[in-house]
Structure 1
Amino acid sequence: MTADVPPRTTARATDRPGDTSPFALGLLLRRAHWHAAAVMGEALRPLGIELRHFAVLIVLVDRGPTVQRDLAAETGSDKAGIMRIVDDLESKGLAVRKPVPGDRRARAVEITPRGIELFDAAHVLAAPLSERLVAELAPGDAEQLVDLLTRFVYPADGKA
C-alpha cells in the first residue's frame, strides 16, 4: 500500500442486505425505487402510459399549467426528454401546449379533461398494487416508512 492511499476503514458497497458502506442507503433507495416503479408501471400499462408520463400528469394536476422547463425540473427529466413526454401526452389527448401570455416562445402544458380521467383511473388501478408493495411489512410499518421517506425528501429545515 502506498502512502497516498488511505487505509480501508469502511465496508465496500455490495448492494446487498447488510451493506454497511457509505453508499448503502442510496443503493437501497435505488432498489426500492426500481421495485415501486415496476409495480406502479403495471397499474399504468392498461392505460397506455408509462411512469414518466404519469409523473408529468402529477405535476400538472398539482400545479396547473406549467412551462416545459419547470416540468423538466420537477420530474428530473432533461429538455429533450420532457419534450418527448409532452409530445406523447398530446398525441394521446391527455395534455395540450398553450401560449404563455407575455412570452412568445414559451408554452405551458395543461392537462385535458381526458388526462384528468386517466389520472383518476390510474389511482383506482394502483390501489391493489400499492398494497402489494408493502405486503411484507408489519402493521404500521408502511405508514412509518412513508413518514420517514417524507422527512428524508422534505426535511424540516427545507434543505433537501
Structure 2
Amino acid sequence: MTPDVPRPPAHATDRPGDESPFALGLLLRRAHWRAASVMSEALRPLGIELRHFAVLLVLVNRGPTVQRDLASETGTDKAGIMRVVDDLERKGLAVRKAVPGDRRVRAVEITAEGRELFDAAHVAAEPLADRLAAGLGPDGSKQLTALLTQMAHAADSGDM
C-alpha cells in the first residue's frame, strides 16, 4: 500500500490540458489576442485601431458620452481616452461638444463619417470573423458567444 502523497499544485501553462486555477483566464487571454489580431486586420485598411473602434461602439450604443464614462466603458485610463478621442476628432469620426450646465465637461459624439466607418468596419470584419470561428464547428461560434456573454455579464446580474 502506498501512502497518499499530496500532488503538487498544477502550474499555469495556457496550453491544452492545463488544469491550474489560472487556465480559464490564460486561455481567454490567448483567445483575446488572436481575436484582436484578426479584428485589427479588418480595421487597418479603414485607418483605425481596436481602441478607436471600442470608443465608436460606445458612442453608437450610448449616444454622446463624457470622456470619463468612455474611459470606464472601454477600460482605458484618462490620458489614453484623451488620445483616442483626439485621434477620432482628427479623422473627423467624432467631435467634443460642451455639456449644458457644466463648462468643464465635454461629451464626445460620433459624426456621420464615424457612423459610416463603424458600419464599414462590420462589413470588413465579417469574413475575418468567419475565419476566426472556422475551427469551432457548425454551432461552436454560437455556443462560445453564449458562454462568453454569460461570463462577461455575470457581474451585471450579481452572479459573481
Shared fold, TM over 0.5: yes
Which segment drifts farther, 102-111 or 11-20? 11-20
Q: Using the TM superposition, give the Cα deviation of residue 157 of structure 1 relative to its aligned residue in structure 2, in angstroms.
A: 2.9
TM-score normalized by the length of structure 1: 0.93
Q: Using the TM superposition, give the Cα deviation of residue 17 of structure 1 relative to its aligned residue in structure 2, in angstroms.
A: 1.3
Separation (CA, whole Å) in 2 of partners of 1:97 and 1:82: 13
Match of residue 88 from structure 2:
89
- Structure 1, residues 26-46: CA drift from partner, whole Å, max 9, x if none? 000000100000000011000
Alignment of 1:107-122 (within 5 A): 107-122=106-121
1:97 maps to amino acid: R
Indicate yes or no: 2:158 matched with 1:158. yes
Structure number having the greater helix percentage:
2
Separation (CA, whole Å) in 2 of partners of 1:23 and 1:13: 6
- Structure 1, residues 89-124: CA drift from partner, whole Å, max 9, x if none? 000000000000111100000000000000000000
Q: Using the TM superposition, give the Cα deviation of residue 158 of structure 1 relative to its aligned residue in structure 2, in angstroms.
A: 3.3
SS in 2 for 1:15: coil
Match of residue 126 from structure 1:
125
Separation (CA, whole Å) in 2 of partners of 1:26 and 1:95: 34
Please list every run of at least 4 consecutive aligned residues from structure 1 whose deviation after the TM superposition is greater than 4 angstroms: none
Q: Using the TM superposition, give the Cα deviation of residue 132 of structure 1 relative to its aligned residue in structure 2, in angstroms.
A: 0.5
Match of residue 149 from structure 1:
148
- Structure 1, residues 18-76: CA drift from partner, whole Å, max 9, x if none? 11100000000000100000000011000000000000000000000000000000000
SS in 2 for 1:98: strand
CA pair 48-33 structure 1, distance change in 2 beyond 3 A: same
SS in 2 for 1:10: coil
Separation (CA, whole Å) in 1 of partners of 2:25 and 2:98: 40
Separation (CA, whole Å) in 2 of partners of 1:158 and 1:90: 37
Separation (CA, whole Å) in 2 of partners of 1:127 and 1:72: 27
Q: Using the TM superposition, give the Cα deviation of residue 10 of structure 1 relative to its aligned residue in structure 2, in angstroms.
A: 2.3
How many equivalent residue pairs?
Answer: 154
Match of residue 73 from structure 1:
72
2:53 maps to amino acid: F
SS in 1 for 2:24: helix
1:126 maps to amino acid: A
1:143 maps to amino acid: K
Separation (CA, whole Å) in 2 of partners of 1:158 and 1:146: 20
Q: Structure 1 unaligned segments of length 5 or more: list them.
A: 1-6
